[in-house]
Amino acid sequence: MTLRFISGFAAVTLAVCGLSAPAALAKPMGGASAVKMIDTDNDGTVDMKEVEAVASATFDRLEKDADGTLDARELKGRLSQAGVKRADPDSDGTLDKKEYLAAVGERFKMADPDNDGTLDAKELNSKAGKALIALIK
């Protein structure tokens, strides 16, 4: 009787613990999930066209005041001040879509050391890959 009660209690405790530990949800985004997010043709890698599609959607989402450019406030830390300066050849302090996509392209190239034009999970997991994701997500 007592034994049955204890084992029943243990089972309930285990079930509760299992439910309260969503470890997978707490993990930061890894290279593999980044690929899944961007890889629209499902070939397991991310090419510039796929990245540009995501970046373009992100630009439109961030572009709140509809003046055609992103300023530092709209970028919300996606680029540092120095990063904005570098991506802003006409030096008006804001990025239009062309400038933003050029900055994205530059990061894509930096994340692609084997120069095959695609990023795999490992490349997206590198420092340069993470910088690319941070800019376009």
Specify the residue, 39 or 88, whose C-beta has the smaller distance to Ca ion.
39
- Smallest gap from Cβ 28 to Ca ion, in A, equals 22
- Smallest gap from Cβ 47 to Ca ion, in A, equals 5
Transcribe the chain into DSSP letters: -HHHHHHHHHHHHHHHHHHT--HHHHSPP-HHHHHHHH-TT-SSSEEHHHHHHHHHHHHHHH-TT-SSEE-HHHHTTSS-HHHHHHT-TT-SSSEEHHHHHHHHHHHHHHT-TT-SSEE-HHHHHSHHHHHHHHHH-
Binding site for Ca ion (CB under 5 A): 39, 41, 43, 63, 65, 67, 69, 112, 114, 116
Specify the residue, 44 or 89, whose C-beta has the smaller distance to Ca ion.
44
- Smallest gap from Cβ 42 to Ca ion, in A, equals 7
Specify the residue, 12 or 116, whose C-beta has the smaller distance to Ca ion.
116
